[in-house]
Structure 1
Amino acid sequence: MPLIEINFDGIVGPTHNYAGLSLGNLAATRNAGSVSRPRAAALQGIAKMRANIALGLAQGVLLPHRRPDRAWLAALATTPEDAAPALLANALSASPMWAANAATVSPAPDTADKRCHLTVANLVTMPHRSHEWPETLAQLRLAFADRTRFAVNGPVPPPFGDEGAANHMRMATAHDAPGVEIFVYGVPGGPFPARQHVEASRAIARLHGLDAQRTLFVQQSEQAIAAGAFHNDVVAVANGPVLFAHELAFADKEGFYADLRRLMPEAEIVEVPASRVSLADAIASYLFNAQLVTLPGGEMALILPGEARANPAVWNWLQDMVAGNGPIRRLEVVDVRESMANGGGPACLRLRVVADPATIDPRFLVDDAKLDRLEAVIAAHWPETIDPAGFASPSLWQQAAAAREELLTALDLAALA
């Protein structure tokens, strides 16, 4: 079977909460202390996956991690019962749901050894995410166990921050054709931390064996980071030969665009002008944190959160775009409001992997029937609400553990328990 793009969505975990842990993520900090709805959040994620399948897209899943993370707390010489409230909040975070931060992926056509490379992100900048990588790595090594087709690499060492595919774009004439890989990094100095270090990006490019002549390292604009674009995928997304970006996304857009066109003359750049959509509106609506996908018929679609439709400036610009003769021809709106309230849109929830599905562990691939089973588990076992004031409740920890165990059983993945 030819190589195709598969979207692996993170299933929203049973401890999904609004603790406001992510500095620079405006939605997360704005909703700190609010009551979350883990069951609704997870069911919204399932509905998004169903919508993708209905569009003819291949769909996979990544699973929630153990929460609270007792091993991480033990390394800090404490337990959930004794941990300070701030540590307990970090140990309970359901942030692995945002699979775009799981790893950086280079498909086989781009790499020296012609294997698909996945390097797990270290996520060292934020304490609540810094302890994700061991469980993520275990899942990736199980899902992509065929070592003749895949290389699943451990993280870049600290202090070089790497936040995965959220700061990486790939452009190609087709998914199975050689591509141009674009690593977007930040520079410290503004009010919020720059999470992707250029040294980490360069290390990953070397580890993946990428052609230096077809690899770009591009600085994200400090203006975008200061406005709340904590990852590049909040202000830019690419698919096939198309780059969809805000006018203010990059520090040197003219230089970047010139390099891109030199390497890929077929590239089409769809730029949203700041005069039509401000950075504030783009970030609040997650216009760019959308899934830009190629449908089976070759048409390109943008899968957007409902917040993009609710923003007049954003929606008016999108209507003008699709009325024109550009490469993006279709808009699909999904409801992921519970994830959005914590700072993660449709693109945050998925990791893109270009591969032959037959080479992937089928337990990580889903269809409607499997989603029916997962939906039933979530409806029966996920907490309906979580109040941050109740983080210290052992009954919450027990419910979360039991819910995750039921999910692993439904997927025949007890090996991850």
Structure 2
Amino acid sequence: MKNVLHFVARDFACTSRGARLGWHGLHWLCALFVLVALWLPSPGHAQGAAPTPVRIGVIGPFTGPSSDFGVPMLNGIRLAVEEINAVGGYLGRPLELVVKDDTADPARGRKLAQELLSEKVPLVIGFCNTGVALRSIDLFQNNKTPLIVPCATGTAIAGTYPPRESYIFHMQAPDALQAPFMVDDIVKRGWTKVAIFADTTGYGEGGLKDVTAALAAKGLKPVYVARFPTGVKSLTAELEAARAAGANVVFTYTVGPENAVVANGKKALGWKVPQVGPWTLSFPYFLDGAKDAAEGTLLVQTFIAEPSNERRAAFLANYTRKYGKLAVPMAAANGYDATYLAMYALLSIRDGQLSGPAIKEALEGKLKTYYGVVATYEKPFTPDDKVAFTRSMLVIATVKNGAITFAYPEDYKRNLFVQRK
């Protein structure tokens, strides 16, 4: 039986063979791997007794102003768990989600993080807001409980602790990647007089630092910087000041409707300069709130909801069938892939002792290759690297007819081939 298990694991990890099998074949192999594992002695339940679930913590904004991307993240996680449980879960034990709604409130997020840790979950997936995440990550670090962050992009999330000591795993492209990637593009286009509009949350603060640093690397400084609280209804005065300063592009770093406030404000002033920014410009608050004023906006993406290969087509079809319209594809896809990576880590621990240090070690180097939706993950994390994304996995997207698509034809062609990490 061990030989069979070895053969299945070897076949599943083989990239070239996996490519020939396709998405459904790979999922079949994953199912077979789990089912073979079930024949072996299984920790967690006695003969004839119901198996004890493996409880996984999930935390994020599932109601309130950030629910437009918190809910897709949760749905992506739920979809993955449903698929995993259908083929046996962890050695016959189903995964069970313990869901906490932080409503994008840092104080509430910290309280709920403490609740999850008191419930002894072996790992947690979550956080969509950088400020909420940064208020809580010390709890997971001090408790030695792995935290996988699929949505929040703050550079400090993975940078707060030395990598070899860190229990914080970043399953998202951090702002330190997104900001310079966009700066490179706008400089190439000749837009060098940059106005930065950043909110006063932890997300806006970190984004402002990363954009400013990226501009400095090009020998540039922003010609104007506007800071504002979330919930602001007008930024007309700030936009007029940016225009007076000679800005020829507006770089926004905010997470909610304020992106649309900027776009609509430019339109009302008749100021036809481009708006650019990170992935938050793909959110419904911007697309629906700005409508035609959003047209032509440029933004950074890692995943665009186009069925460019079989695994992405299957994910998009399954998500839509179960949950309806996919509002923020990156959030859902990252949540889905993060859950599978967590499951692969658990499957590498054969004795059922799902301690934080054991899961950390598994995530850092014991994972089989995972053929994900966003990318193929060969070594998403190592002891010295807690970020699952690289610059090569980013693309510049644009808003066209109210939807997100590729800004460059070559990126569309490149998307036919899954990126690797």
Shared fold per TM-score greater than 0.5: no
Q: What TM-score do the two structures reach when normalised by structure 1?
A: 0.32
Larger RCO, structures 1/2 (Cα 8 Å, 6+ apart) = 1
Q: What TM-score do the two structures reach when normalised by structure 2?
A: 0.31
Instruction: Give 1 or 2 for the bigger CA radius of gyration.
Output: 2
Structure with the higher helix share, 1 or 2: 2
